[in-house]
Amino acid sequence: MKGLLLKDWYIALRYCRIQLAIIAVMAVATQLVDTGLVFLMYPMLFAGYLATRILSTDEASGWERFQQTMPLSRMTVVSEKYILSLIAIGAAALLMGIIWALRLVFTGGGDWHQLCRVLAQLVCFGCLFPA
C-alpha cells in the first residue's frame, strides 16, 4: 500500500503539477477576494479529481498490465485510490483552513464556528467526486 501511495505521489508531482498549483492558487484566491462560498468549492473540486487524473495516467501508460503481475489484489489498488483521494481532500482542506484562519486573525477576529462549519461542508463536497 505504501508503495502504491508513493507511486501515485510521484505521478502527481510529475503529471499533475498544474492541478496541484491550481489547488494552491485557488485556495489563496478564495481568501483574498470576497466572492462568496461558491468559489471555495474549486480547490476541493480539483483535489477530488486528483485521483481520477492519476488513474487515467495509469491507464494511458499501461500500468494495468504491470499491476496484474504484482502481488496486489484488486481491492488493495482500489482502496489505495480512495485513500489518495482522502489525503488530497484533507490536504486541500487543511490548506484552506490555515489560510482562512490567518485571514480571521489578521482582520481582527471572526466567526471561528463558521470556519469549522464551512470546512466540514467542503470536505463533504470534495468526497462526492471520488464516491
Cell digits for 64?
494495468
- The pLDDT tens digits of the residues spanning 102-127 come to 878 887 766 778 878 888 888 888 88
Average per-residue pLDDT in the chain?
Answer: 82
Looking from the CA of 28 toward its CB, the CA atoms found within 13 Å total 5
Residue 50 has what pLDDT? 84
Q: What is the mean pLDDT of residues 91-106?
A: 83
DSSP letter at 131 equals -
What residue has cell string 496484474? 68
User: What is the phi-psi region of residue 54: left when phi exceeds 0, alpha when psi lies from -120 to 50, beta otherwise?
Assistant: alpha
CB 52 within 8 A of CB 81: no
Higher pLDDT, 84 or 25: 84
